[in-house]
A and B are shown apart, each in its own frame.
Chain A
């Protein structure tokens, strides 16, 4: 029974995957429509999975509150706000001013704060990297970052000549070295993504479980 189920899931995944993949290489109206239909199903399933993900999140935090594990008040706060937002959204609709305000005045500022924190974290991480990994790659990394910073930041003194020199250096680094290296990296990532997809398609990787 277990072996049968495993074969069935793999066959379904392979069949759907082959149809969607073939749609990229074969221009045939029926195939294109089938691919579009499957993609729409995938979007619907993904939306349903989002709901399940939220329920899972709720279950994890309820468990923490029940056991009064460390940090449980934060979990309780999350549950209250999650349910509160859900009720407000269901009662007033997602376009209501109150619901939109929750995003505008709570979610957006918090996310913007995290983005700002990123700049500080990166500066600290740069220093930490130099302290911990004293190799030639770290030296190149930090030197390049400093040169790009000098070429981008405004110069309050030193004249236009210095600014233009660092600006030219920044462009040279970004457009020649960085762009060339990035293309090589993107090529490697693309090849890795293709083989990962093919492993799933061939049934060698079964992310949907055994």
Chain B
């Protein structure tokens, strides 16, 4: 039996930092930098609820069992918060995805949000749905959802490829409030052009912290920052050592 000690040490550091900041965060809440996308979201949701319009959360085209599931998992936290905020309105939030398993998770998240506010009877299983099994068939289904559901807030938080640009653009054409983020670098560049409020880099994972989903979400951002600084220091040290001709 052999161990990857370096990997285990980094993982342990992550877990300990997460737990530490979760405990510390209750007493000393973190102050995050301004993110216009999440700052404007609460007001946009309130406007949608008052106007009898709907919020749509797109969880992307990635699969649950692949590495691309992480941004969609972060998106489920956003969905949980958005669903809780809209559950008592005429038109509760809807979610869509291109993966069957992710659609089931979206349904579970929506059902839990309904149950938490004592409105389990208002839950509709079709509020969390799979629109298509391939990225572009999913994108093709988006305009129909936006038009027929009367969507005015369009949140893209999941794994998208180039089709993400179309998904965001369909929302822009309806003059919806569009927030868009992906884990794919190329898609992020496209979303920067198509969405009014693009999320760059790890911002797609920060929704839970900015929307106060739970103390662990704020702790995640703090833990990421600490590890990021350590990684940057390691890169700088490696560059310096290599420049000085010292091999590692």
| A195 in contact (CB, < 8 A) | yes
Main secondary structure on chain A at its contact with chain B? helix
**Nearest residue, chain A, Cβ from B200:** A185
With contact pairs A204-B214, A209-B108 given, residues A192 and B205 touching in the complex (Cβ less than 8 Å) = yes
CB-defined contacts of A145 to chain B, threshold 8 Å? 193
With contact pairs A46-B64, A70-B148, A202-B18 given, residues A193 and B3 touching in the complex (Cβ less than 8 Å) = no
Find out whether the CB atom of A46 lies under 8 angstroms from the CB atom of B217.
no
With contact pairs A193-B67, A198-B15 given, residues A56 and B125 touching in the complex (Cβ less than 8 Å) = yes
* A81-121 vs B, Cβ < 8 Å mask (1 yes, 0 no): 00000000000000000000000000100110011011001
Number of interface residues, chain B, beta carbon within 8 A? 81
CB-defined contacts of B128 to chain A, threshold 8 Å? 56
| B65 in contact (CB, < 8 A) | yes
Find out whether the CB atom of B228 lies under 8 angstroms from the CB atom of A53.
no
CB-defined contacts of B108 to chain A, threshold 8 Å? 207-209
CB-defined contacts of A198 to chain B, threshold 8 Å? 14-15, 18, 220
* Of A74, A115, A124, A204, the contact of B136 (CB 8 Å cutoff): A115
CB of B190 to closest CB in A, whole Å: 7
* B203-234 vs A, Cβ < 8 Å mask (1 yes, 0 no): 01110100000101100110110011001000
**Cα distance A76–B176 in the bound complex, in angstroms:** 27
Find out whether the CB atom of B18 lies under 8 angstroms from the CB atom of A126.
no
Main secondary structure on chain B at its contact with chain A? helix
CB-defined contacts of B243 to chain A, threshold 8 Å? none
| A153 in contact (CB, < 8 A) | no
Find out whether the CB atom of A122 lies under 8 angstroms from the CB atom of B190.
yes
Find out whether the CB atom of B193 lies under 8 angstroms from the CB atom of A187.
no
**Cα distance A74–B130 in the bound complex, in angstroms:** 16
**Cα distance A166–B74 in the bound complex, in angstroms:** 41
**Cα distance A28–B109 in the bound complex, in angstroms:** 36
* Of B14, B19, B104, the contact of A49 (CB 8 Å cutoff): B104
Give 23 pairs: A residue, B residue, CB < 8 Å, sorted on A.
Answer: A25-B3, A39-B65, A46-B101, A53-B104, A53-B130, A54-B130, A60-B129, A110-B137, A121-B194, A122-B190, A125-B165, A128-B172, A129-B192, A141-B192, A185-B185, A189-B202, A195-B221, A196-B205, A205-B73, A206-B112, A207-B73, A208-B108, A210-B112
Using CB atoms and an 8 Å cutoff, list the residues of chain A in contact with chain B: 21, 24-28, 39, 42-43, 45-46, 48-54, 56-57, 59-60, 63-64, 69-71, 74, 107, 110-111, 114-115, 117-118, 121-122, 124-126, 128-129, 132-133, 141, 145, 182, 184-189, 191-200, 202, 204-210
Known: A28-B1, A46-B64, A50-B99. 12 other contacts (CB 8 A): A26-B2, A46-B63, A49-B104, A50-B101, A56-B128, A118-B163, A122-B194, A128-B172, A185-B185, A192-B74, A192-B201, A192-B220
